[in-house]
Structure 1
Amino acid sequence: MASKLSAEVRHNSGPLEGSKYIPVAEFYHGRSIFITGGTGFMGKVLIEKLLRSCPGIKNIFVLIRPKRGQDITTRLTQILGGPLFDRIRNDNADNLKKVVPINGDITLHELGISEMDQLTICQEVSIVFHSAATVKFDEKIKQSVTINMVGTKQLLDLCHRMLFLDALVHVSTAYCNCDRKDVCEIIYPPPYNPEEIIQLVKWFPEDMLEKLTPSLIGNRPNSYTFTKAMAEHMLLKEAKDLPVSIVRPSIVLSSFKEPVSGWVDNFNGPTGIVSAVSKGFFRTILCEQSCIADLIPVDLVINLMITAAWHTASRRNMRNITVYNCTSGIDNPITWGSFVRMCIDNMRKHPVEGVLWYPTGNLRVNKALNFVHGLFAHFIPALVLDACSLVVGRKPIMKIVQIKLSKAATCLQYFTNAQWHFRNDNVRNLLTHLSPQDRNTFQFDVSTIDWQEYIERYVLGFREYLFKQNPASLDKCRSNMYKMYLVHQFTKLIMIACMWRFLLKKSIRLRAAWKKVLNHIVQVMKVIAFL
């Protein structure tokens, strides 16, 4: 029965049948979807958007592995119970029942999926979204290859067995070709055969692999960008006649508008650094402020993925893989300097609870100066605070926090001190294929982003969703922020006075000049008093 239904859906639901336009939501009607990475940041937004904007969807099968003692049903229940799904729970809670957990693991043979579940997927699924990946920049090469390459290969094997597959959307990264400054929407030839890398990782001991990693990744900064580039080429070689498209987002941040503005659930990328600045214990980073920060809201990426699958299905007889650079740098650029300034302005306007110091930030290009500033602004205060914690019987954590932040900042330095030109002709072309209604429902036009408004919602978002702080506490936090400001300014005056006193002690000429200035001021005051 399921097989017959899928056959009918495949036959009747192409997005473009001659001159007839099939709306995106109608295209997904009656279809079953398979998602890897559904428990991640982007995966959650994808599930929510499909349920809300494509209500006729049949099932969404989500690959989930047991984690920390929780089975897959418990994990899915927790995800669907989060604030991201509030609108669906309020409007149509029954739609949540369409999400079906599939026990599996991207690192296991055949994705760890049981034969029965594989049969169900192969008979019912017609659209696949593959977003499972390790996004750790400093991940060891063995784990990165296993997840990003071997996992993709095993998913391809499963897709080849699907009876009615109309589209496979693979999520890559715009930075997989960061060894080039001008990046087109094509799959570039890699330095190695992907299969050789898989075999190398399979047979070589881990300590030897770690020594080989720098020579393997070459001009790329980490194993993440290297293995994502390898995975793209593997798709090109092994997808064969499968209908495949690749979506390459740049730096993914909180939601722009959907389902709520500012939603974010992790400290990855710039968010970890920015949130630490909002707390007042991170103040300097190596960054070229004039470089473009290629940021992209998560909901725009998801809308592009959904419409890319719709468009791929209409072109399933064409064997070339379409690549979409989902970026903002060409159509709506913002520099790192502007991004940081806007963030700090909004941190002061909408402060978080538990601020240790008045939020400030310095973008430096001099490594030595950044190191010295970090030593005095980050690590020495951390040691002082840890000593105070020990005195009062609390666990010292600030040194550990600063080490983690320093590590995260180091991982970001490659991307904050250079810029790329990501061409996005395919993304622009896809927009022209959408009706005005679909363009509005599945919005991914980055030129519509007002960065000032977006960043304000971004700051409010990590305050509410990451720090779990109630918006009702804002007034109290603003009052506290004003006190912090006064303390910050008073401290600067004290430091200037101490420095001036030190210089006066060390320089006879400076003391003589200062004495003349004071005498002149006294004379002027006498004249004013006489008048």
Structure 2
Amino acid sequence: MDTNENESQIANFYKDRSVFITGATGFMGKVLVEKLLRSCSDVKNIYVLLRTKKGLNARSRLDELLNTKIFEKIREENPKALNKIVAIQGDITLNSLGISESDLNLLTSDVSIVFHSAATVKFDEPLKTSVEFNVIGTRRLVEICHKMPKLVALIHVSTAYANCNRTEIDELLYSPPVSPQRIVDAVEWMNDDAINSLTPKLLGDRPNTYTYTKALAESLLVDECGSLPVAIVRPSIVTASWREPLRGWVDNINGPTGLILASGKGVLRTMLFNSKAGADLIPVDTVINLMISVAWYTATQQPNSIMVYNCTSGQHNRITWGDIERIAFPLLLHYPSAEIFRYPGGNFKENRLFNDVCCFFDHTIPAYFFDALMALTGRKRIMVRVYEKLHRATAALEWFTTREWKFSANNVLMLIDQLKGADKETFHFDIRDLHWPTYWEDYVLGSRKYILKEENSSLPKARSNLRRMYLMHKLIGFLIMYGIWHRFLLRTHAARRLWLLLSSLMMKLFSILPAIANT
């Protein structure tokens, strides 16, 4: 049967169907909700699981969610669509997800598509907490899905690094490091100290509790989904939006976004990486379009087994960590932040010892010096704590910035070929079409705008401030060299004459610095 080029099979599939989403307030969850409302406008209802947080109940948190920047277009063009979003009070760490009996009856009778993206993504989360969210939380959701007679698709969001102990990762379900039930039993009866001491042995050749528990969750799905129509989407490192809902939109400082901001502020000046290793980044809207398409394909084609989709970029549009440094750093100088700690500089290192030495001189010493100045002026000392937090973050990222994986993505390519007519554009997720330099320019501008809340109109002032910081950076460097020269080298008559000549030239330069700074 021929498809009308202007007709969307996927949008038609979602027509009059209700969707249930966990993790709707997260980075990916926000984009998923917005995309469904905008591109599947005839969807019946979108139920979102929201827990009470910071004194706000589910309804208040929903209002907070819908007031974010990415829903601006819908608020202006079709505000009634927002009424389709229904807050469900609950908590993934509670039995039956903490959902009331009336809400549970509503979900089980009305929902036909479920997206499970709720998880703790902290790399350093205690194992017990990570198991509670990522493994037991998945079990609780599956139990509810078994009660949904209309269910046609359950899409579980995992991570491409669930099996990062391998170098080549296919779109397959691998045997877990240990039975999920054994880990669940252990965290239920062992005390926190015992679990924490045992954690390194359990993790084995995996770097953190996040990747470990995500692997367990995949295995649990296999064991407990039964005949449920399940598919697993494994995104790699999820980054700012590529094309929609706003170019460069991002709302957190995880992963590369944190590196961009810290480098642009002049705080991050060195970290360990492998310049030749591929950086497997994937824009958030690419992941969301794939997830929506996977639900459609799972429901309409009804595969005989759980299909896995590696949502990755490395095999089809590779970029290395060295490429990112080369492309992104000049952009940080072209689009500087309005407030910076130091003039952006430094570079990433491939030798651990050299990186440690540079950390001491470029991070630790300036942090203590700055805090000492703050103490002398009666102000709060913050930079030592900032650098301690930064070093923990970069240490957690080292596993991913110094290694490379080969992810197969045949199922993703197959699904691209399944899209017809308007769906090719509306639900586009072909990473081969992305132009990395353009994307990184949008990424830097988006981080500046959506995280730092700095509009493009502030760029002239920011660039002027950057020039002043550059001159200060050079002056400080000169004074340090002067101290070394004066203390150790200014011993001979020829050296003193050379010093007088250089001093004369520097005085002439300093006389014109104000004019340069104000240009």
TM-score (norm 2): 0.92
Q: For the residues of structure 1 that align with 2:235 and 2:485, how far apart are their CA atoms?
A: 51
Report the count of equivalent residues.
496
- CA drift of 1:387 comes to 2.2
Q: Decide which of 192, 212, 218 is 1:206's aligned counterpart.
A: 192
Would you say the 8 A contact 1:344–1:361 is kept in 2? Answer: no
Deviation at 1:497, TM superposition (A): 5.3
Q: Which runs of 5+ in 1 are unaligned?
A: 1-14, 522-531
Displacement, 1:340? Answer: 2.1
Report the alpha carbon displacement of residue 479 of structure 1 after superposing the two structures with TM.
Answer: 1.5
Distance 1:16 1:251 in 2: 37
**What do the CA deviations read for 1:140-173 (whole angstroms, capped 9, x no partner)?**
0000000000000010000000010000000000
Q: Would you say 1:286 and 2:254 are equivalent positions? A: no
- Paired with 2:275 and 2:470, the residues of 1 have a C-alpha distance of 25
Residues 47-68 of structure 1, C-alpha deviations (whole Å, 9 max, x = no match): 0000000100110000000101
- 1:169 is aligned to 155
Q: Decide whether the 8 Å contact of 1:141 with 1:213 is kept in 2.
A: yes
> Retained in 1: the 8 A contact 2:22–2:118?
yes
User: Which residue of structure 1 lines up, in the alignment, with residue 362 of structure 2?
Assistant: 377
Residues 274 and 237 of structure 1: is their aligned pair in 2 closer, same or farther, counting only changes over 3 Å? same
Identify if the C-alpha distance between structure 1 residues 292 and 115 changes in structure 2 by more than 3 Å, giving closer, same or farther.
same
State the AA in 2 paired with 1:283.
R
Q: Deviations over 1:189-240 (max 9, x none)?
A: 1121111111111111110001111111110000100000010011111111
Which of 421, 430, 438 pairs up with 1:445? 430
CA 1:361–1:342 in structure 2 vs 1: closer, same or farther (change >3 Å)? farther
Structure 2 equivalent of residue 310 of structure 1: 296
What RMSD, in angstroms, separates the aligned Cα atoms of the two structures?
2.1
Q: CA deviation at 1:357?
A: 1.5
- TM-fit CA distance, 1:365: 2.2
Matches within 5 A, 1:63-82: 63-82=49-68
What residue number does 2:101 align with? 115
Secondary structure of the 2:271 match is strand
Residue 192 (str. 1) matches residue 182 (str. 2) = no
8 A contact 2:8–2:421 mirrored in 1: no
Cα offset, 1:458, TM superposition: 0.8
Q: Aligned pair 1:47/2:38, yes or no? A: no
Aligned-pair CA distance for 1:303: 0.4
SS of the aligned residue for 1:364 comes to coil
1:171 corresponds to which letter in structure 2? V
Matched residues in 1 for 2:477 and 2:424: separation?
Answer: 51
Q: Distance in 2 between matches of 1:437 and 1:416?
A: 37
Following superposition, the deviation at residue 380 of structure 1 comes to 1.7
Question: Which of these residues, 27, 32, 48, is aligned with residue 62 of structure 1?
Answer: 48
Alignment of 1:29-40 (within 5 A): 29-40=15-26
**Residues in 1 aligned to 2:446 and 2:375: alpha-carbon distance in whole angstroms:** 33
What is the Cα deviation at residue 492 of structure 1? 3.9
Q: How does 1:324-403 map to 2 (within 5 A)?
A: 324-403=309-388
SS at match of 2:422: helix
CA distance in 1, matches of 2:478, 2:158: 50
Q: Classify the secondary structure of the residue corresponding to 2:362.
A: helix
Asked if 2 retains the 8 angstrom alpha-carbon contact of 1:330 and 1:422, the reply is yes
Distance 1:143 1:65 in 2: 16
Match of residue 276 from structure 1: 262
**Would the aligned equivalents of 1:128 and 1:167 in 2 still touch at CA under 8 Å?**
yes
SS at match of 1:362: coil
Contact 1:287 1:365 in 2 (8 A): yes
* Cα separation, 2, equivalents of 1:399 and 1:16: 64
Structure 1 range deviating more: 389-398 or 366-375: 389-398
Paired-residue identity, %:
48
Q: Alpha carbons of 1:336 and 1:431: their partners in 2 closer, same or farther (altered >3 Å)?
A: same
TM-score by length of 1: 0.90
Report what 1:423 is aligned to: 408
Matched, 1:126 2:126: no
Q: d(CA) in 2 for partners of 1:109 and 1:445?
A: 39
Deviations 1:107-131 (A, max 9, x none): 1011001111111000000000000
Q: Distance in 2 between matches of 1:199 and 1:501?
A: 68
Shift of residue 502, structure 1, vs aligned partner: 6.0
Equivalent residues of 2:233, 2:291 under 8 A apart: yes
Equivalent-residue separation in structure 2 for 1:145 and 1:345 (angstroms): 41
The code of the aligned residue for 2:435 comes to D
Residues 356-389 of structure 1, C-alpha deviations (whole Å, 9 max, x = no match): 2111232112222212211121122112222222
The match for 1:461 is 446
1:443 is displaced (CA, Å) by 1.0
The amino acid of 2:400's aligned partner reads F
Q: Which amino acid aligns with 2:74?
A: I
Candidates 134, 139, 155, aligned match of 2:141: 155
Alignment-derived partner of residue 131 in structure 2: 145
How far off its partner does 1:95 sit? 0.4
Q: Which amino acid is 2:73 matched to?
A: R
Moved more, 210-219 or 494-503: 494-503
Which of the residues 250, 253, 263 maps onto 1:264? 250
Q: Residue 211 of structure 2 corresponds to which residue in structure 1? A: 225
For the structure 1 residues 481 and 238, does the alpha-carbon distance in structure 2 shift closer, same or farther, using more than 3 Å as the test?
Answer: same
Q: Please tell me whether residue 482 in structure 1 is matched to residue 467 in structure 2.
A: yes
Q: CA 1:503 to 1:174, structure 2 compared with 1: closer, same or farther past 3 Å?
A: farther
Q: Deviations over 1:411-441 (max 9, x none)?
A: 0001000000011000000000001420111
Q: Is the 8 A contact 1:272 1:405 kept in 2?
A: no
Query: Which letter maps to 1:298?
Result: V
Match of 1:410 in 2: 395
Shift of 1:495: 4.3
- CA separation in 2, counterparts of 1:172 and 1:393? 48
3-state SS, counterpart of residue 46 of structure 2: strand
